[in-house]
Amino acid sequence: MSQFAALPDPGPAQTLDEVAACLRLLKTWAGNPSYETITARVNTRRPPGEQVGKTTVVDCFRTGRRRLDPDLVVAVVEALHADPGYTNQWRQALRVASGESRGAGSQVRVLGSLPALPTGFVGRTPEIAPSPMTVFSGMAGSGKTTLALQIAHRLATTRPFDHVLAVNLRGSHADQPPAGPDAVLDGFLRLLGVPGQHLPHGLAAQSAGYRARLSGARVLVLLDDAADDSQVRPLTAPGPGSVTLVTSRRTLDDLTGARHVPVGVLRPDEARELLLTASPPGADPAAADRIAETCGYLPLALARVVAHMRDRPGWTLADHADWLAERRRSGRLDPAVRQALDVSYRNLPARARELLRLLAHHPGRSFDAPAAAALTGAAADGALRELVAENLLLPAGPGRWAMHDLVRAYAAGRSADEDRRSDRRAALTRLFDHLLTTGADEADLAAAAEYAAAEGWPLPAPRLRGRQSAK
């Protein structure tokens, strides 16, 4: 049995020594076959005049080498795990380690079939009308990939496709840069049977070769986690009857002609079903509702609670609900949720990051552009557009937006780490003055007065309370 739950990833390898180290991990992952066995497997794939000896194969695993034969290393990888997408990932890593490519952006693993569906999927599969391209966009953790996979598998079983291609574009990966479309096309063309010596060079030539190769074919392409529209355009499936499904945290509005499907949080009944399905019979639906509300109905947060439930079978749903509520009161988020939001935060320009942090302290449930500008002390339209494009703000009526509760909790934590208390107070004082002078509604004034009083700020809370009473 394999020692590792997942295949060793050659992507981070930047040197030949790191490639050799990863190759040793792969050997262990594959059950640690002997070098004689590996050599025999390699030779079955090579013509009679190109047979290699055991010593030559062993050298691939040793550090201190000044060069490696990339074709032989790929043959060794195939002997340990014969998957075309995986071996292509090794080819790209070898090009980086030998200095032929520029880095991790040129490394990507492509697939010639759809990834498996994750377990625990709950409802909400929309009826997607046949469309050449559909873009699923939403905030981090909203379940875009799961939803797109559900639809892709349904399409693949109901409509015959000549080819299925899939790739994670790493638009919001925590540790690796977005995949270059040229690297993806290199992998797609290899999967489509183009020999290495006939691969075109340069994005334009690759894209033309890709379209020529697929001319007249019905193709299903899944492009998961796109960074932007420029990453997607060269990779879309050409020809009638072909379908491209794209997921992204950004809205990708510049992909004209695409069907855009916003992916929000689960409905309360869907969230309850997910939790009760993962619970023993007789679990308390009210406790499930408490958990779902605390998670803001976000699929990722709910999935993390389900994992916590599996690790603590002796707990009741009420125990989990109390545990989660206590964590939230102390401002703690699940590490996976925090990491997902960290990536979105890092992708923002500095002005948008500042606005997100300050909006976490807005006392109302929603806000408009003038309120955002009051918080920052300058025009905020550009920063607002960035936050909306990254799906970190939710529409809350004409010209108004809101923050998901988990985004607000994350942004408040960031503000505590990065903003001086005096700067937060100055921002809120500007906001309160704005509310007083622009005729804010009673709910905004009441929330502002309560917030200021809780913070122990004598002004402008009395003025706010007086203005509220005058109403």
3-class DSSP state for residue 165?
Answer: strand
**CATH class of the domain at 133-262:** alpha beta
On average, the pLDDT of the chain sits at 86
pLDDT, one tens digit per residue, over 24-52 is 999 999 999 999 999 999 998 887 777 88
DSSP string, 201-252: -SHHHHHHHHHHHTTT--EEEEEEEE--HHHHGGGSPPSTT-EEEEEESS--
d(CA 53, CA 136): 51
Specify the pLDDT at position 108: 83
Q: What is the mean pLDDT of residues 397-424?
A: 93
pLDDT at 3: 46
Q: For residue range 273-302, what is the model confidence (pLDDT) as tens digits? A: 999 998 988 889 999 999 999 999 999 999
pLDDT tens figures, 47-101: 777 788 888 889 889 887 777 788 889 899 999 998 877 887 788 778 777 665 4
Here the tokens at position 353 are: 């990051």
pLDDT value of residue 196: 73
For the whole prediction, is pTM greater than 0.85? no
- Tracing tokens 């074709």 back to the chain, one arrives at 71
Distance CA 199, CA 128 (A): 35
Identify the residue whose tokens are 């923002």: 348
Pairing between β-strand 243-248 and β-strand 259-262 as defined by DSSP bridges: unpaired
CA distance 122 to 103: 38
pLDDT band at 140 (very low <50, low <70, confident <90, very high): very high
Asked if residue 210 has pLDDT above 90, the reply is yes
Burial (0-12, 13-18, 19+ Cβ within 10 Å), 329: exposed
Q: What is the pLDDT of residue 471?
A: 45
Helix axes 369-376, 350-359, angle to 10 degrees: 100
Question: Where are the chain's structural domains?
Answer: 16-101, 133-262, 268-333, 348-470
CB 426, CB 455: distance < 8 Å = no
Name residue 402's beta-bridge partners. 394
pLDDT(314) > 70:
yes
Q: How far is CA 200 from the centre of its chain?
A: 30
Please provide the size of the chain in residues. Answer: 471
Cis, peptide link before residue 234, omega less than 30° from 0: no
pLDDT for residue 5:
56
Looking at residue 461, what is its pLDDT? 46
Rounded mean pLDDT, 433-437: 83
CB 106 within 8 A of CB 181: no
Structure confidence by residue, pLDDT tens digits, 343-365: 999 989 999 999 999 999 888 88
Percentage of the chain beyond pLDDT 90 is 52
- Crossing angle of the two packed helices 369-376 and 381-389, in degrees rounded to 10: 110
Q: In the predicted model, what is the mean pLDDT of residues 232-244?
A: 92
**pLDDT surpassing 90 at residue 8:** no
